[in-house]
Amino acid sequence: MAPQSTPPIDLTKIPLLPNPSDAPPNFDDPPTLTNSDFGTGVALIVVSGILLTLRIGTNRKLSNKCGLDDFLCIFAYAGGIAYWVLNLLNGEAGLARHAWDIPLSTLTVAVTQRLTAIFFVLPPSLWAAKAAVLALYIRVFGSVTWLRRTAWIWIVFMALFYGMSIFVTGFYCIPRKGGMWGGALFVRCQESVWLHVVVGVFSAVADLVILIMPFPIVLKLHVSPLKKLTLGLVFGTGIMQVSSDGLVVMSIISLWLRIIVFKGVDTTWNATLLEIVSSAEIFGTIAVSCAPAMSAFWLNIFIKSALWSKLKSSSMFSYLRSWILPLKQRSQERPSFVRTYLARSSKRSQPETESAHDAKHILRKRSYEVLEEERTSSEHQTPSSNSTKE
């Protein structure tokens, strides 16, 4: 009697992981993060793309050239789009669900190839976005020796680290001689999850360094605390707008999600959340690094344009101005003793006045460079005006 053959295993009915609640898998209409991934990605790409376009246009118009920071931003933007598209395709293939709602049949050759491509695209995109900020520091504060050298060292060090992560990813996630793409390779690739935790720690540290690097220079300026805060917000690009906790917090959230994935807790769902946060980190860094360019665009182009003249002469602008000015005047009213004190201290020292001019010059400078010869060429300039130099 011939032995009975084992029936083939139906991979479409076996979940990737068992449900912790012991509930049966939902392969028909499970919850998914695909729509959230799509909506968030489109919004980030559009906003950062508009700001990047204005940045490039402003540089081309005012200085007739683009700097290293601009090209790094373009590279990071392209890499961020590629990273988002690859994750979106895998999400539509079924990976944006809970792990217990994903059948093993989802791990096709195309899915594993895209997953490997994702691991190769993310590190250089993160590097380019962060290096663009450091290149901007070099452009603005190039006369400050310690900052210029520190920025270049950090750019090179980040390139070496992220390059190492690509090499390790290739060792785990590319088929070896005679190997094949598919589920077995996916399992082996998961063994490199520890590397993503290391990358998350490094990214958080890198954002902290980028955040605090310009503040020693800003704090030395003899200007009001409000203007110091303004300059800190413009050049402390670890802060994502005034209303949010910042890109540093985004990196910490990314690190937290990487640790969860490393522990094997609902890996596909949390990996999709990690992808959304990583996309926000890339495009958010690009958007915030455009802040000095937006300041130059507003001061040197927009308010001098015909459109601004039409807006100022419009009835809506007049209405808003008549409504805002009384509120501003009332908010600036002070008790008599405060007015007396301000009157006595209204004559500021010459170095303090010139330092305030330097702070304003940083925001207005067309090419965002603080050049020593531009501050010393004036006939009445004093040596104490160089408050941004060591």
- How far, in Å, CA of 336 to CA of 85, rounded? 62
| Residue 221 pLDDT | 64
CATH number of 31-300: 1.20.1070
- How far, in Å, CA of 77 to CA of 74, rounded? 5
Give the bridge partners for 15, in sequence order. 103
9 pLDDT band (50/70/90 cuts)?
confident
* DSSP letter, residue 97: B
> Among 79-88, 157-166, 242-251, which stretch is predicted with the lowest mean pLDDT?
242-251
Helix or strand (DSSP H, E) at 63:
none
For the chain, domain boundaries:
31-300
Q: What is the mean pLDDT of residues 161-165?
A: 92
Backbone conformation region of residue 9, classed left if phi is above 0, alpha if psi is from -120 to 50, else beta? beta
CA pseudo-torsion sign 285, 287, 288, 290: positive
Q: What is the mean pLDDT of residues 53-77?
A: 89
CA pseudo-torsion sign 374, 376, 377, 380: positive
- Given a contact cutoff of 8 angstroms between Cβ atoms, the answer to whether 163 and 122 are in contact is no
290 pLDDT band (50/70/90 cuts)?
confident
| Neighbouring C-beta atoms of residue 87, cutoff 10 Å | 27
Place of tokens 């009213």: 333
| Neighbouring C-beta atoms of residue 321, cutoff 10 Å | 10
Q: Is the pLDDT assigned to residue 173 strictly greater than 80?
A: yes
Place of tokens 């958007």: 287
Which residues, in sequence order, are CB contacts of 182 under 8 Å at separation 6+? 107, 108, 109, 112
| Residue 368 pLDDT | 46
pLDDT tens for residues 102-116?
998 888 889 889 989
pLDDT tens for residues 200-247?
899 888 888 888 887 787 677 665 665 555 555 555 444 433 333 456
Which residues, in sequence order, are CB contacts of 92 under 8 Å at separation 6+? 34
- The 3-state DSSP class for residue 32 equals strand
| Residue 1 pLDDT | 45
Q: Is the pLDDT assigned to residue 339 strictly greater than 50?
A: no
- The 3-state DSSP class for residue 366 equals coil
Q: Is the pLDDT assigned to residue 386 strictly greater than 80?
A: no
